[in-house]
Amino acid sequence: MASNHVIENISMNKSFGGWHKQYSHQSSTLNCAMRFAIYLPPQASSGAKVPVLYWLSGLTCTDENFMHKAAAQRMAAELGIAIVAPDTSPRGSEVADDEGYDLGQGAGFYVNATQAPWNRHYQMYDYVVTELPALIEALFPVSNKRAISGHSMGGHGALTIALLNPERYCSVSAFSPICNPINAPWGIKAFTTYLGADKSTWPQHDASELMSKATQLIPAKVDQGGADNFLQEQLMPETLVTAAKASNYPLALAIHEGYDHSYYFISSFIDEHLRFHFEHLNESK
């Protein structure tokens, strides 16, 4: 319905021949106003429909962190890829929240909450998989060729969403993802709160659990900093490597010594990720 596709432009900035734009819209999935950013490369202004990379950010982030800090626009403009960055959770005075940085607003974990009061708004999985792409594809000069990527909590989101919906994405990548959240403090806290104490549903939102049993395979690229403070306790990339071996999954995972959890790390390797996605977005499926 057209009413679902009403958006309000907040800002726009020309960048490398394309446009970075911020919009707000009323989300029927999340029952609140949501903000997202989109970078449209110069090719989108010439009548061409360009593929889209969806970027999911980490804890405490908004749509702005990636667009401001990742330095992705130059390569996206060169390759002709649009980038869409949603916020990381529902927002607003009516939306449930928590004092901790790792729960509530800014920490949606890209799952559909089943527990009250969180289930009224925290349906980030459906928002990212269904509502937002439908909005983007209805209103912007983009194709239905999609890739997905993210960082930390967003890396968890990108991997799990791609593994659960391999027909919707050509490729997936992640920086410093929470690879095994059912065994990580961040994941245990979020899943207990959003999904409930019954852990039987948790593996459906765990990249390592999903990858170990995957049968429909799409290319995956993961980069992790070797000097990341969260590496051993929260991120556990070794679990993803084990899972990929179990299912013969096409995973390329690299540890980069000296790099930490910050956008200094992401900006150092984002061009490689964009080239990776470009290669697979342009393959015929």
β-pairing, 172-175 vs 220-225, is parallel
Torsion angle defined by CA atoms of residues 278, 128, 195 and 117, in that order, rounded to the nearest 10 degrees:
150
Residue type at 149 in one-letter notation: S
Which two three-digit tokens encode residue 94? 């009516």
**Dihedral over Cα of 38, 128, 210, 178: its sign:** positive
Cis check for the bond before 117: say yes or no (omega within 30 of 0): yes
Beta bridge partners of residue 222, listed in sequence order: 174, 253
H-only helix segments in 148-206: 153-164, 185-194
CA distance 114 to 195: 5
Active site residues: 152, 228, 261
Residue pair 65/94 in contact (Cβ under 8 Å)? The answer is no
CA neighbours closer than 13 Å in the CB half-sphere of residue 48? 15
